[in-house]
Amino acid sequence: MKLQWKGGPRARAAGAAAVVCGTLFLTGCGADGGSGSSGGSPAATATGGATAGAGGIACGKPATLQASGSTAQQYAMKFWIKNYTRACPGTKINYVGNGSGAGQDEFLQGRTAFAGSDSPLSADQVARSRKVCSGGGHAIHLPMVGGPIAVGFHLHGVDRLLLDAPTLAKIFNGRITRWNDPAIARLNKGVTLPSTPILTFHRADSSGTTDNFTAYLSATAPGDWPHPHSKEWTAKGGRSVKGSSDLAAQVQRTEGAIGYFELPYAVARMIRTVSIDTGAPSPVDANVIAASHAIAGAKTVETGNDLLLQLDYRTKVPGAYPIDVVTYEIVCDKGNKPATWSATKAFLTYMASQKGQENLTFQGYATLPSGVVEKVRGEIGTLS
């Protein structure tokens, strides 16, 4: 099969997803090719208040779960919730994609069963979690899904755009203000670049996507990005928008715009995305294969039940896309809410299962390395 990555992000993402099972040793790629649920009614047999759901999905004791946080995983969460609640109709799951920072805060206030976050909790936040996790428990991180942070742009007459880290940093720091700037032109020889003003868009809310994007800039272009990485945007200038969905919408409708958001938002709106010059022999596009290559090189840090991945933003591995995000589900290692823990544990178990992971590439996500997901599955079984 000959791959054609041209024609916009939808074609690149779909092509990447179509071949990912034959390219990487990922946790997905199940033999049954199912969608995570075969439909039908859950079995009536109950064990300790739990039931065996349809399609091989085990249901916890019916409950209503409140959760919030990462917008990066919102498409994946819709996919998971649809399939789980179809198999386990007694459980209702309300997930609000209000940003990683808000999700962390709401979990630490005891308002949610779990939080989704693209940034780990700080040591102070973990200490605060002991007030929420009863019996001496504390919050831990379960890496559940990964993917590329696409840099989307809207520039009439330009179908493909190549940028490197220093140039990106200067654009988002307000030092490059027009699209025909010599620094951009040098990277895009043969492309007619207009003198259109550059309009940068960034997240207004506390965001793990912002944290990972600015971590990339500060790691790869410290001389041009004199700001620490943070969930809050600290550079001056640009236009702020709340949430990845609205940020992508602004880029889609604004001539001269550039912004950052997870690949599924670019795919959904058919927004063209920047190729990144990492110093490897060839530029790298934002697609699920390239993100999986990069995430496979992440360092795994384990502390008890806690599991974190340290991404290498400076990677020069051929075919590895460097601007990525890993989303964690944040729960207590012990002392989770008794009324909802059976359903929460069953839902997390489904999310980490082969059935829950296998079709995420078609949602625009990179599958995590098999060893990481195996560890997550094992950790979920020990939580209480």
Q: What is the dihedral of CA 350, 351, 352, 353, to 10 degrees?
A: 40
CA distance 73 to 84: 16
Do both 202 and 237 map to the same domain? yes
Q: pLDDT, tens digit, for every residue of 287-301?
A: 999 999 999 999 999
Same domain assignment for residues 234 and 184: yes
Domain limits for position 211: 148-292
Both 244 and 188 in a single domain?
yes
CB distance 330 to 305 below 8 Å: no
Task: Look at residue 19 in the predicted model and tell me its pLDDT.
Answer: 33
CATH number at residue 258: 3.40.190.10
Which residues 6+ apart lie within 8 Å of 185 measured at CB? 191, 193
Residues 75 and 125 in one domain: yes
In a domain, 238, yes or no: yes
CA distances from 322 to 26, 67, 119, 148 (A): 19, 29, 16, 8
Q: Which amino acid is at 157?
A: G
Q: Could you tell me the pTM of the whole model?
A: 0.85
Whole-angstrom distance, CA of residue 166 vs CA of residue 67: 37
Name the domain count of the chain: 2
Q: Enumerate the H helices of 254-361 as residue ranges.
A: 263-269, 288-296, 338-352, 354-357
Tens digit of pLDDT for each residue in 24-57? 323 333 323 333 333 333 333 333 345 666 678 9
pLDDT at residue 112 is higher than 50: yes
Is residue 365 a part of any domain in this protein? yes
- 61-110, pLDDT tens digit by residue? 999 999 999 999 999 999 999 999 999 999 999 999 999 999 999 999 99
